[in-house]
Chain A
Amino acid sequence: MAEVQSSKGSPSLDMTPMVDLAFLLVTFFMLTATSRVTEPVVVDTPSSTADKLLPKNVILISIDDKGKPFYNINNSEVRKKTLQKMGQQYQITFTEKELQTFGGMTSIGVPMAKLKEYINMEDAQRVAKPSPGIPHDSLHNELGDWIQFGRIEAAKQAKTEEERAEKLGREFKYEPLRYAIKADGQSNYIAVKEIIKVFTDIDIYRFNLITDLEQGPVVAK
């Protein structure tokens, strides 16, 4: 009799371990996740067996399937300063708020003349309107300027960080700036070559080509 009663008395089960598990997983994903940011360009990179990770300190040029280049630099501080320098070069003044917005943005693919308007757009508008790409022909080489200023500002930033680390007595690990090219597999090689020419014209010869990891057959090494 007593046994039958006890089984009748507990129709609900103990949820506590389940909650524990769920929150453990939530915490894990929260800490490991790098949230997906809306890029103005969708790039379907080709796959390869290369397994090197992309370095942190990088100037990234994305090239979409039509061959339009987009510029991105990771460090938001460097981004802001680069924009300021670009503004000086092209006689456009950006407000503090615009610089702030730009610092939090991702890849950009608009010419300088339209950049102010682009920064002041709403997020949804930015995504909806396709970007024309950054001009990079020999007469009007904005991409080259972006890379040059980004490079200079990144070097300055590394220096200030080193000084700060020295003051605090911390160890400073210098990471050289790398140049990554993330091109769409279906874009014409000529388009990629044009971008590489922009780099080689300012004496940058080493690149990181971004690819997807391919699980190909393992070849005897």
Chain B
Amino acid sequence: MAEVNTDGGGGGKHEKKRAKKSSTRIDMTPMVDLAFLLLTFFVLTSTFAKPKTMEINYPAKPEDDKDQIKVNNALTFILSKENAVFYYYGEFYPAGNEKGMAPTTLTKTDFSDEGLHKLLLDRNKPTTVAIDALTEKLKRKEIVDTTYKRLVNREKGSKEALTVLIKADDQAVYKNVIDVIDELNICNIGKYAVVDMGAKENELLKATSK
């Protein structure tokens, strides 16, 4: 014992040997720290939400004004400032028109479920009913999903289906246009277009929103 105490080097060696034997495992804590640091970094820098898109076709420019087809079952939305939505059904007749039709009036609605959504479902009842029936069939597995898609598309494009025109004045925001298109998609309306507003319609809009 005395030898060990006086001989520092020998004692050290002896202790080292013992220490080596006892610690066969390494301290993992710094490694865990590093791993979680990296983990946090990647979680924060990665973007989860992949952008989603809606596809839309814009109408080609008509060659001349005569090309414009008459739309029978058409609903026209007019968007304006402060999230206002107006609509009219059928063709547009300005006040004092040559044909002697009653002038078109704009009705106001909003983006709530009771407003736009209800209006579209009501106006598009035949198509909605037909598509509901198809969905029921799909659920009971009477038709396969490819057939279902085809039939739904045919139903959306049928003559009875509602056509919607979206017009925005120079104060409407883009969000409202998207909201309307989205609502049309929800309500199974396949025929819609974003078009320019006529001067007469603009006058009527200004008179109505006053």
Contacts and interface: CB of A to CB of B under 8 A. Distances in A.
Contacts of B172: 188-189
A35 interface: yes
Centre residue among A35, A63, A186, A188 by max chain B CB count within 10 A: A188
A171 B185 CA distance: 36
Chain A, interface size category, equals: 35 or more
B32 A19 contact: yes
Interface string B104-117: 00000000010001
Chain B, interface size category, equals: 35 or more
A182 interface: yes
Centre residue among B51, B55, B131, B135 by max chain A CB count within 10 A: B51
Contacts of B29: 15
Interface string B179-191: 1011001111000
A4 interface: no
A22 B58 contact: no
A211 B177 CA distance: 12
14 contacts: A15-B28, A19-B28, A19-B31, A26-B42, A33-B45, A46-B175, A50-B182, A51-B52, A52-B54, A189-B172, A189-B177, A208-B56, A209-B55, A220-B132
B57 interface: yes
Contacts of B135: 220-221
B199 interface: no
B150 interface: no
Interface in A177-212: 180, 182-193, 196, 199-200, 203, 205-212
